[in-house]
Amino acid sequence: AKAHADTSGSHTDWLTLNIGGRLFTTTRSTLVTKEPESMLAHMFREKDVWGNKQDERGAYLIDRSPEYFEPILNYLRHGQLILNDGINLLGVLEEARFFGIEQLAEQLEVVIKNSHPPEDHSPIS
């Protein structure tokens, strides 16, 4: 029933984000529902306040990393934090913090803490 609702037109408001030059297609409900107090949710609920810019195809311009945004968008879609091997967790954390997605940022901080031994202070993973 949930899956049916997600794809059957209950949200008619599709939009495309241009994150640093890569296009992501999603729905407004994905951006505003999971973490309604995030900056990202505010940006797409209160468009006029935020003055979001659009490119010539109508995609909303955001000057951030597309690579590290990808797992964040997946998290907003289904609530799971899912990351491939080799991706730098600090990159995802940086984007989670930028977009104000607090619960995800906290979850990432726990994962990062557990994945490094305490004596390792290297700036990159």
Give the interface with a copy of itself as residue ranges (CB under 8 A): 3-4, 6-9, 12, 14, 16, 18, 20-27, 30, 39, 43, 49-53, 55, 61-65, 67-68, 70, 73-74, 77-78, 80-88, 90-91, 94, 98-100, 107, 111, 114, 122-125
- Please identify, using beta-carbon distances, which residue of 4 and 118 lies nearer to a copy of itself: 4
- Token readout for 59 is 């995609």
- Torsion over CA of 54, 56, 62 and 65, rounded to 10 degrees? 170
Nearer of residues 12 and 119 to a copy of itself, judged by Cβ: 12
How many residues appear in the chain? 125
Closest CA to 31 of 13, 44, 16: 44
Least separation in angstroms between residue 26's CB and a copy of itself is 5
Question: Which amino acid, residue 18?
Answer: N
